[in-house]
Structure 1
Amino acid sequence: MSKSYDSLVSLLVEQFEVREGVASPEKTLGELGVDSLAVVELAVAMDVRWGIKAEDSGIDQKTTLRDAAALVAERTAAQPVEGS
């Protein structure tokens, strides 16, 4: 999978107790046991880690890991490289 997918799964495993072997691109956050409060916490974590503003993320329990990883990839690709 992509670097953004791997990073997202790592975040879910580390902070949201998602079992790594259960995660797959087509699974939704809800299917992984991420409840509505945890979705909000995930949005905040995505802001801290990748600068994706919670209000701009659009993630919810129906968001697949593939879609969330695509968001991470899209938003981090648009960020300027430090030192440029």
Structure 2
Amino acid sequence: MDDTQKTVIGILTRKAGLPPGPVTPEATLTEAGVDSMAVAVLAMVIEDEYGLVITEADLSANSTVADLAALIGRHLAAKA
């Protein structure tokens, strides 16, 4: 698991209130319990902590937690 995946999982479990068990890189967003509220929290935290603006629609369009982390990682790399 890479650092971006750990960060995304941490945000989803600590700030969005998802139970940690099903939130794994391989889990689909549905399996992980990522709903519209969790996506909204993730978008806000990513903007507040990293200065990235990624739409909720873009975040929701990913299939797995790993895909979601990869999207955020690409945005972070482009910002650097």
Structure 2 length-normalised TM: 0.76
Moved more, 32-41 or 67-76: 32-41
Deviations 1:21-52 (A, max 9, x none): 32222212222222223322322222222233
Rg comparison, structure with higher value: 1
The aligned counterpart of 1:47 is 47
Q: TM-score, normalised by structure 1?
A: 0.73
Q: Are the equivalent residues in 1 in contact too, given 2:25–2:64 (CA < 8 A)?
A: yes
User: Distance between the aligned counterparts of 2:6 and 2:20, measured in 1?
Assistant: 10
How many angstroms apart in 2 are the aligned matches of 1:34 and 1:23? 9
Number of aligned residues: 80
Q: Which moved more, 1:24-33 or 1:52-61?
A: 52-61
User: Is 1:73 matched with 2:76?
Assistant: no
Deviates more, 1:11-20 or 1:34-43: 34-43
Closer/same/farther in 2, CA of residues 5 and 57 from structure 1, 3 Å limit: farther
Question: Percent of aligned pairs with the same residue?
Answer: 30
Gaps in structure 1 of 5+ consecutive residues: none
Deviation at 1:8, TM superposition (A): 0.7
Residue type of the partner of 1:8?
A: V
Q: CA RMSD in A?
A: 2.3
Structure 2 Cα separation of the partners of residues 49 and 41 of structure 1: 12
CA drift at 1:68: 0.8
5+ long unaligned stretches in structure 2: none
